[in-house]
Amino acid sequence: MSSVIEQIEQQIANLQTKAVKSNTGKIVQVADGVAKVDGLSEVMYNEMIEFPGGAIGIALNLEEDEVGVVILGEANHLKQGDECKCTGQLLSVPVGKGLLGRVVNALGQPIDGKGAIESSDTYPVERIAPGVIARKSVDQPLMTGIKSVDSMIPIGRGQRELIIGDRGTGKTSIALDTIINQANINKVGLASGDENFRPVYSIYVAVGQKNSNVARTIGVLEEAGALEYTIIVSAPAADAAANQYIAPYAGAAMSEYFMHNGMDALIVYDDLSKHAAAYRQMSLILKRPSGREAYPGDVFYLHSRLLERSARVNEENGNGSVTALPIIETLAGDLAAYIPTNVISITDGQIFLETDLFNQGIRPAVSVGLSVSRVGSAAQIKATKQVAGKLKLELAQFRELAAFAQFGSDLDAKTKSQLDRGARIVELFKQPAFSPVSIELQVAILWGMQNNYYDAVDVSDIVAAAGSVGEFFTSRKESLLDSIRNKAKLDDTLNDELKKAFEEWKPTFSA
């Protein structure tokens, strides 16, 4: 009992002697989520500022006689003359596996009503991207589960692949398919007990979206069983511009935790057009000089410093990776607008989605000609290369020939066969949303195309045929799919087995 008394006495003694130093300032003006503060003589750029009532701000404008502080969250209770103080800390968010399956706001606070987050680690939201020495080349595939993407525009772990297109062309669907596919792969891999298996954890950052859209996304992921491998960072349109500005960086910090701890992460920024608009709003209120389309001069740096944080790092630096799928919304397919050109130049390739293709029923509406992956086949398994090596070229030639064929009716046999084959490939790549296809099944389906097994099928029945092949292989040829997955390349044995399987499938399919 006496030790308890001593402890309390010690606590009282500490209270009496401890002097705490703080650097303070007074609000001169507060409006639109930005406070101009007089004082704060020791403030640092990007430092967290504490306001009365627990509000937090970030010092973004350090001027000679005042500091521009952007307030995160509610600022209605703040008034002129209120005192604020420096915290000496950069804005940090909780990180770790405890966040998986949760929906958090831009500050990492839970908003899903599932209680507190079990996480003791925090990472600063702004961090310098790994340098060249810390990096490793991108040569491990990240399967999206979308046939057209995995075969023609392969994505590697650590790559930054932009998804770009007009509104309503299926940009978010591609990102969600990829997240769902990672969850599917994780479930199989973790169940197999393979020590070398590397799961991919996903982070979905929703910036400036409607709350209903975010709720729909959560519902899709939950239904597909992918939410348990996913963190959702939500800064909806109703949030302050500052929260929308900080959300992608908070998501990046959460993904870096996985990268630094020997794991792989996938991060989706949905979307960076709205992020740039939120930054423009903030910059204009901070009275920073504006440039093209009223964006501030450092809007390129805004996205380059964010996307540079996606990398694959070597063993000494964590042996993990962060793959980024930023999304950009274009207006009337204008790829040459300011933000789209910026982000195209930063990323390692883009998946361009066309409205015309979407309206023709070609979904996902991937434009083969304008889409590219600069990492390319280095991040593709050999089996996919074997069956899909020439598909992109064939499809591009088909598009060109199809355009010419519109003008004439007499076509030679070779052109006719090319057109016919192209039409079949286009049909084969059609895929419903939120139903990713495993890579081994993709290989099997594309092997059928390569070996002309769909030639007897009517073009309008190709989608049904591909579905039938999928069903046939998953229900009756599971061991063959396992062999393709484990070997990752097609040898003579597998080719023979695939041939046998397709011969077996052929009579079963009737359109």
Partner 1 sequence: MKQDKQIKEYAKKLLQISKDGETLSEEKVEAVLKSLEANPPRHYQAVLKAYLKLAEQDVARSTALVDYAGELSQAGLDAIQSNLSSEYGRSISVITREEPSLIAGVRVRVDCDVYESSIASSLASLESSL
Positions annotated as catalytic residues are 374
Please give the Cα distance from 189 to 192 (Å, whole number): 5
Beta pairing, strands 103-104 & 230-235: parallel
Provide, rounded to whole angstroms, the least separation between the CB of residue 50 and partner 1. Answer: 10
Token code pair at residue 412: 């030679």
Cβ(36)–Cβ(68) below 8 Å:
yes
Kindly tell me which of 42 and 491 has the beta carbon lying closer to partner 1: 42
Running DSSP on this structure, what letter comes out for residue 354? Answer: -
Provide, rounded to whole angstroms, the least separation between the CB of residue 30 and partner 1. Answer: 18
Kindly tell me which of 20 and 403 has the beta carbon lying closer to partner 1: 20
Kindly tell me which of 122 and 468 has the beta carbon lying closer to partner 1: 122
Kindly tell me which of 37 and 142 has the beta carbon lying closer to partner 1: 37
Running DSSP on this structure, what letter comes out for residue 85? Answer: E
Beta pairing, strands 83-90 & 56-62: unpaired
What Å distances lie between residue 125 and 42, 97, 245, CA to CA? 21, 17, 11
Identify the CA nearest to 342 among candidates 374, 309, 299, 373. 299
Token code pair at residue 75: 């600022």
What Å distances lie between residue 14 and 9, 11, 18, 20, 102, CA to CA? 9, 5, 6, 12, 39
The residues in 17-46 that bind partner 1, with binding defined as CB under 8 A, are 17-25, 39-42
Beta carbons within 8 Å of 442's beta carbon, 6+ residues apart: 147, 150, 151, 384
Kindly tell me which of 77 and 416 has the beta carbon lying closer to partner 1: 77
Provide, rounded to whole angstroms, the least separation between the CB of residue 42 and partner 1. Answer: 7
> Should residue 120 be labelled a site residue for partner 1 when binding is judged by CB under 8 A?
no
**Given 4, 5, 15, 403, the residue binding partner 1 (CB under 8 A):** 15
What is the per-residue DSSP string for 402-426?
HHHHTT-S---HHHHHHHHHHHHHH
| Main-chain dihedrals φ then ψ at residue 271, nearest 5 degrees | -135, 165
Token code pair at residue 89: 């800390």
> Should residue 16 be labelled a site residue for partner 1 when binding is judged by CB under 8 A?
yes
Token code pair at residue 298: 């450092």
Cβ(153)–Cβ(366) below 8 Å:
yes
Binding-site string for partner 1 from residue 79 to residue 118, where x marks contact by CB under 8 A and - marks none? ------x---------------------------------
Kindly tell me which of 23 and 213 has the beta carbon lying closer to partner 1: 23
| Main-chain dihedrals φ then ψ at residue 57, nearest 5 degrees | -130, 165
Provide, rounded to whole angstroms, the least separation between the CB of residue 8 and partner 1. Answer: 13
Provide, rounded to whole angstroms, the least separation between the CB of residue 297 and partner 1. Answer: 18
Please give the Cα distance from 426 to 356 (Å, whole number): 14
Q: If binding means CB under 8 A, how many residues of this protein chain bind partner 1?
A: 17
Provide, rounded to whole angstroms, the least separation between the CB of residue 17 and partner 1. Answer: 7
Token code pair at residue 206: 């929703």
What Å distances lie between residue 273 and 129, 171, 173, 314, CA to CA? 22, 13, 17, 32
Kindly tell me which of 23 and 397 has the beta carbon lying closer to partner 1: 23
Q: Which DSSP helix (H) or strand (E) runs through 17? A: helix 2-17
Provide, rounded to whole angstroms, the least separation between the CB of residue 19 and partner 1. Answer: 4
Residues listed for the chain = 511
The residues in 59-78 that bind partner 1, with binding defined as CB under 8 A, are 65
Amino acid at 291: G
Please give the Cα distance from 463 to 430 (Å, whole number): 7
Kindly tell me which of 65 and 412 has the beta carbon lying closer to partner 1: 65
Residue 65: exposure state from Cβ atoms within 10 A (0-12, 13-18, ≥19): exposed
What Å distances lie between residue 295 and 33, 72, 281, 336, CA to CA? 18, 21, 8, 16
Provide, rounded to whole angstroms, the least separation between the CB of residue 11 and partner 1. Answer: 9
The residues in 167-186 that bind partner 1, with binding defined as CB under 8 A, are none
Provide, rounded to whole angstroms, the least separation between the CB of residue 13 and partner 1. Answer: 11
Token code pair at residue 25: 């300032």
Cβ(467)–Cβ(430) below 8 Å:
no
Kindly tell me which of 21 and 414 has the beta carbon lying closer to partner 1: 21
Provide, rounded to whole angstroms, the least separation between the CB of residue 273 and partner 1. Answer: 31
| Contacting residues toward partner 1, per CB under 8 A | 15-25, 39-42, 65, 85
